[in-house]
Amino acid sequence: MPLDPEAKAMLEAMSAAPKVDLYSVPHTVIRQAFGTMPGNAPGPEMESVEAREIDGPASKIPVRIYKPKGGVARKSGIVFFHGGGFVLCNLDTHDATCRQLAEGTDSVVVSVDYRLAPEAKFPAAPEDCYAATQWTALHARELGIDAGRIAVAGDSAGGNLAAVVSLMCRDRGGHLPIHQLLIYPVTDFAFDTASYSANGEGYFLSTDMMRWFWHHYLETDEDGAHPHASPLRAANLTGLPPATVLTAEYDPLRDEGRAYAGRLAAAGVPTQYTNYDGVFHGFFAMTEQLPRARRAVDEACAALRKAFGA
């Protein structure tokens, strides 16, 4: 279908900004620009928001813990991994999304500030995210979480990390999440899908940007074939947590997200897949501007509540 009118207006506003050659600008400059971009209105008020540092495989990992108001004493938990191509974004850029998920599911959300590339290349990010997931399960009681009701979630690169952490938990015998919420996830180190051809330019996330992200994330191209970088290439997807996968019509990542949902379902993993027409990559966070974003957040929260038995 055509672009949603609100989405089209947003893209037109974005296109008015000067075009930047990503390789001519230090990644730190682009990271700073993304970190200071105006976002949505603040998310819902929480009972508490706590900053902590937890032990990681190489260094301390900052996390932010969101506890919603009211509800039951021992809540479900969501370990959340932000997007940003493994290079950009942070806890602040995804603050509103974490608040919405916490309120919409009556869950404690643990948002993870994993190490970014290129300072820390693959597999630093998935190792940090796995460690944070296991920490959350181990400390569930003190966090007010029911250890049997912990999900992982993330958008874009964070969706990749949620999928990869699920694989790592299964393969390492770690605490297995009860659900995985994958929001327009990166699932393959490839640029050859129909959605890349159709949406690789002019819809916010571009093919050039994805090549730039992967260039910074991977030590070598061979690393891109590893299932902890490209979960779509994992030989076996059986025994993974049930999944909710959301994609956007005008997104170069659409087809790899759909392919991963299809492979999960074919492996016997209960999978709910929705492609949102008329919108582009990043729309999930744009609830103030896009009605479809509000519907997507509602769908994600409903799927998680169902997984948690609520």
**Which residues carry out catalysis?**
156, 251, 281
Tokens of 115: 């190490």
Q: Tell me the residue type at 139.
A: H
CA distance 65 to 79: 9
Host H or E run for residue 279:
strand 271-280
- Strand 145-155 and strand 243-250: pairing? unpaired
**Angle between helix 124-138 and 157-172 (nearest 10):** 60
Neighbours of 197 (CB within 10 A): 13
